[in-house]
Amino acid sequence: MNSNDIRTEVVVIGAGPGGYVAAIRLAQLGKKVVLVDEDKLGGICLNYGCIPSKAMISASGLFNKIKQSSKIGIKTGKVTIDFSKMQEWKDGIVSKLNKGTEFLCKKNNVTIVKGTAVFENSNRLKISNGKNSSYIDFKKAIIATGSKPVELPNFKFDDKKIISSRGALYLKEIPENLVVIGGGYIGLEIGTIYAKLGSKVSIVEMEDQILPGFDKNVVNVIQKNLEKLDVNIYVNAKADKIENNKIAIDSKEKGKVLLDADKVLVAVGRHPNTKNLGLENTKVKLNEKEFVDVDKNLMTDDENIYAIGDVSVGPMLAHKASMQGKIAAGIIAGEKVSYDNFVVPAVVFTDPEIASVGLSEDEAKDKGIKVKTGKFPFSVSSRAMTREETQGFVKVIANEADDKIIGVQIVGSDASDLISEASLAIKMNSTIDDLALTIHPHPTLSESLMEASEATMGKAIHILKLKL
């Protein structure tokens, strides 16, 4: 070994929301741990994804609300945007959180190594940093290398005109015309940001609806709001090519269309970062989509190597990665835990927000589960009215056999916060009666969960029971 080589008990590759959490938890459990990343701590989520996008969602949302405030008696003059100041504010939040992550790692005695990691074998990594290289010998390793945007053959990223979600959050100017290829959550979140900031936004989606996989009644709420923002939506459509500032698309409903495009955001999915890791030098196996196969203990086919987050099978969500990081750390440290039957909520930060956990009504029926459902609209919520945010609803899905809550869907303001109560309810095997008999403060949006549970039993107070 040379002077730069390291021996450690555990090495974590990737410092995103899965990796740095795993490293800190390992250190708390008494393990000697090294955290390796070629970029900033916090990974894509903190530096180029979750955090900067939510900052811009908040800023653009505030701008949009101010413009509409006259309806509640607040009159303003012309409201303008200093986009460079907005970006500076967003960057400040990211910087503060990045430094905080580094502080926590160091204070927990996590050794941080900058560089690109490649497995030499099941107990050794080669770390490259420019022209320099070193080695880390380890007993256990956790792969937490995350994912990257999928590229399209006719729309290769050039970071100028054709951009990824990362590039879209760091533009110098608000584009006059933005075309978004992909109507999933990333495309809709960023498209909504720029629509509120004044861009003419067009969304091109190959499936027959935006947000493929979501229930139509949820999608309808979002689509209506996008149309109010003057967003053009093309479904059953394929982007063909780009020439100068025009994109040619082929739409089933509207035929061939040319769209103005100063910027083109390609947001058609993400791919796990499993290439160029030297996994062929280990026993780690990948599935047909190049995700790492793991068991309920997050162990790969190599007993020395674990995998968490976007590289492992399951939803690509930061909070999933963080929980898996804690579980993997506990297992390596000898705790009797496993990542089994965990309830993972999903959130889309559109306007209004979407949040869901557990099974949808259709998914439950596909599994042969007879269900009962209850829905409470925010249009009759007193708190929603006082906030001028009455779009959407809460829907509770319960197993007809035992009244256990098996799914909740929320579309509306603050859905991202409201869903946690539903997640806990499912995790604790709660019944609709449990949720209905939990006293909720008034007036709040959270009452809607109670009301939706009561509606499931035909006992809602603030909506009429429909006669079938």
Q: Which residues are catalytic?
A: 442
What is the 3 state secondary structure string of 120-138? Answer: EECCEEEEEECCEEEEEEE
**What is the rounded CA–CA span in Å between residue 86 and residue 95?**
14
Q: Which residue has the tokens 């741990």?
A: 33
Residue 375, H or E segment: strand 371-377
Q: Which residue has the tokens 């995998």?
A: 307
In DSSP notation, 298-352 reads -B-SSTTEEE-GGGBSS---HHHHHHHHHHHHHHHTT------S----EEE-SSS
Q: Where are the alpha helices (DSSP H) in 68-122?
A: 83-107
**Residue 430: Cβ within 10 Å count:** 19
Q: Which residues pair with 114 in a beta bridge?
A: 37
**What is the rounded CA–CA span in Å between residue 227 and residue 458?**
34
Q: Phi and psi of 171, rounded to 5°? A: -70, 150
Q: Please give the torsion angle defined by the CA atoms of residues 290, 208, 191 and 147, in that order, rounded to the nearest 10 degrees.
A: 0
| Strand runs labelled E in 132-254 | 132-143, 147-149, 162-163, 177-181, 200-204, 232-234, 237-243, 246-251
Residue 10 near residue 33 (C-beta atoms within 8 A)? yes
Q: Which class for 97: exposed (0-12), middle (13-18), buried (19 or more C-beta within 10 A)?
A: middle
Say whether 408 sits in a helix, a strand or coil: strand
